[in-house]
Amino acid sequence: MSGLYSTVYTGALRIKAALRGDRQFSIYRSLLREQYLPPHRLEQVRIERFKKLALRAIDNSKYYHQRLSEQRELIEKMQSLEQLSLLPLLTRDDLQQHYKEILCPVDNTVYADSSGGSTGSPVNFYHDRDYQMFARGLHLLFMSWIGVSYGDRTGIFWGADRDFKEASFREKLDARIDRIMALNSFNVDEISMDSFLRQLEQFNPTYIYGYASSLALAAERINQLKLTGIRPKAVRSSAEMLYESQRQVIEQAFGTKVYNFYGSREINNLAAECAAHEGMHVMASGRIIEVVDDNGQPVPDGEQGNLAVTDLTNLSFPFIRYLTGDMGTLKSESCSCGISYPLLAGLAGRSSDIISFNGLHIHGEYFTHLFYAQPLVKQFQVIQEEADLLVIKIVLRSGELDTQPLLNQITEKVGPSVRIEIEFVDSIPPLKSGKFRFTINNYNNRRKV
Ligand SMILES: [Zn+2]
């Protein structure tokens, strides 16, 4: 049950939306039904949406006219989403070089945006109003899964994002009306973190969200201080890879479940966990996620590969089979919650950040697990610099760390031919985007350029 404030607040938002012709609430209502369609009917709905997107792209976008015209008949007669694998992929390079030719505005509501990405140069793209309204509708659907509403008291632990700046008076007033308390967790020292946590305890938020690493940082402090007064209904982790060790720390600190959420600046609301926590539901009414190998061939469910995403809602700037740079695994089983949206078994992080020696890929989870067991370690980052060189940066809380047991353990994992250098540093800054990377593969990133 939502509180009175959020009922009134949501009511006001509905009126405001209706006056502006914003259809997010009506889209949300139709999604509430659509999520329970039998899988074959849901697939039909998605195929129809895909046909509309792709055929319009062929007719109106210079880029897709060249890339997809030959497959027009296949698209017109498409029977199954598996046939998508016969169409070309859209790479980050394609986007960088051709974004102007991809653009095919439906009307005059297109907004330019860009994404820095974790490596390399930024990409430019556009969103339109339909995309935005559908994204809000999908987000409302996700909020219904975790039992929170607009207007619920919300605490935010953000990274040093470009969206996060010193708030103006107007913004501070809005935050009071919206009932939001936010902390830019990466730039805080322990004193301001502690004071924020005490204020948050008073504020008593129903909902908390933030970057995985920021939430984990705050959660560790909550556990150290033994604060037990911050008890939200749900915590959403987004923007970064959520490791199991972080999930445990966060759930312990807030006494509730963490819901992992996957989105990107190019296409938001891609997948998210429901209350059953059996994987992340692909937001299938608006998004298609395929998993492909390095040659672009589909991999079977249960196997890890590159995520290729199609956005069914942005007709003005079609993302068709876009390689996001993230890796993950699809699940063939359906979720016990009854929602028919397919499940992503898990995300493995940015392909550019996966450490690999002699063909052996080492999941970031290995390192987070290793270092979370070290109480002296405050922060760490593992960087592959060469084919046979691993550099580990460590920020200590206090005292000295005996590195020999760590070195032995890691050597056992990566093999004796890999050199391991440990550097003790005062701090490890996040990326400009505010995201924090626990693992970076500089060697692979250099070779890709
Ligand atoms: Zn579910």
* CB 55 within 8 Å of CB 94: no
What's the rounded mean pLDDT across residues 106-132? 84
pLDDT tens digits, one per residue of 379-427: 889 999 999 999 999 999 888 999 999 999 999 989 999 999 999 999 8
Sign of the Cα torsion 294, 297, 298, 299 reads: negative
User: How many A from CA of 364 to the centre of ligand 1?
Assistant: 26
User: How many A from CA of 17 to the centre of ligand 1?
Assistant: 29
What's the rounded mean pLDDT across residues 242-255? 93
pLDDT tens digits, one per residue of 133-162: 999 999 999 999 999 998 899 999 886 554
Separation between Cα atoms, residue 146 and residue 274, nearest integer Å: 7
What's the rounded mean pLDDT across residues 312-340? 96
Structure confidence at residue 182 (pLDDT): 86
* CB 12 within 8 Å of CB 4: no
User: How many A from CA of 63 to the centre of ligand 1?
Assistant: 37
User: With 90 as the cut, is the pLDDT of residue 441 above it?
Assistant: no
User: How many A from CA of 91 to the centre of ligand 1?
Assistant: 30
Q: Per this entry, what is the length of the chain?
A: 449
Domains assigned to the chain: 1-351 (3.40.50.12780), 355-448 (3.30.300.30)
Separation in Å, CA 310 to CA 8, 66, 250, 284, 322: 36, 18, 32, 10, 6
pLDDT tens digits, one per residue of 46-78: 999 999 999 999 999 999 999 999 999 999 999
pLDDT band at residue 179 under the 50/70/90 scheme: confident
Element (H, E) at 24: helix 24-34
Structure confidence at residue 187 (pLDDT): 64
Q: What is the pTM of this model?
A: 0.86
Q: For residue 142, give the 3-state DSSP assignment.
A: helix
Structure confidence at residue 85 (pLDDT): 96
User: How many A from CA of 338 to the centre of ligand 1?
Assistant: 6
User: How many A from CA of 205 to the centre of ligand 1?
Assistant: 25
User: How many A from CA of 274 to the centre of ligand 1?
Assistant: 5
pLDDT tens digits, one per residue of 345-361: 988 877 777 788 887 77
User: With 90 as the cut, is the pLDDT of residue 166 above it?
Assistant: no
Q: What are phi and psi of 438, to 5 degrees?
A: -80, -30
For 22, residues 6+ apart whose C-beta sits below 8 A from its C-beta are: 16, 133, 136
Separation between Cα atoms, residue 37 and residue 172, nearest integer Å: 42
What residue type is assigned to position 40 of the chain?
A: H
User: How many A from CA of 259 to the centre of ligand 1?
Assistant: 11
User: How many A from CA of 318 to the centre of ligand 1?
Assistant: 28
What's the rounded mean pLDDT across residues 238-256? 91
User: How many A from CA of 417 to the centre of ligand 1?
Assistant: 44
User: How many A from CA of 343 to the centre of ligand 1?
Assistant: 8
User: How many A from CA of 402 to the centre of ligand 1?
Assistant: 44
Separation between Cα atoms, residue 377 and residue 445, nearest integer Å: 27
HEC profile for 200-258? HHHHCCCEEEEEHHHHHHHHHHHHHHCCCCCCCCEEEEECCCCCHHHHHHHHHHHCCCE
Average pLDDT across the chain, whole number: 90
Establish how many alpha carbons lie within 13 A of residue 59's alpha carbon, considering only the half-sphere containing its beta carbon.
9
pLDDT tens digits, one per residue of 293-312: 988 899 999 998 999 999 99
Q: Which residue has the higher pLDDT, 179 or 168?
A: 179
pLDDT band at residue 363 under the 50/70/90 scheme: confident
User: How many A from CA of 334 to the centre of ligand 1?
Assistant: 8
Separation between Cα atoms, residue 56 and residue 58, nearest integer Å: 5
Q: Which residue has the higher pLDDT, 118 or 151?
A: 151
Q: What are phi and psi of 411, to 5 degrees?
A: -60, -40
pLDDT band at residue 1 under the 50/70/90 scheme: very low
User: With 90 as the cut, is the pLDDT of residue 120 above it?
Assistant: no
Sign of the Cα torsion 263, 269, 270, 271 reads: positive
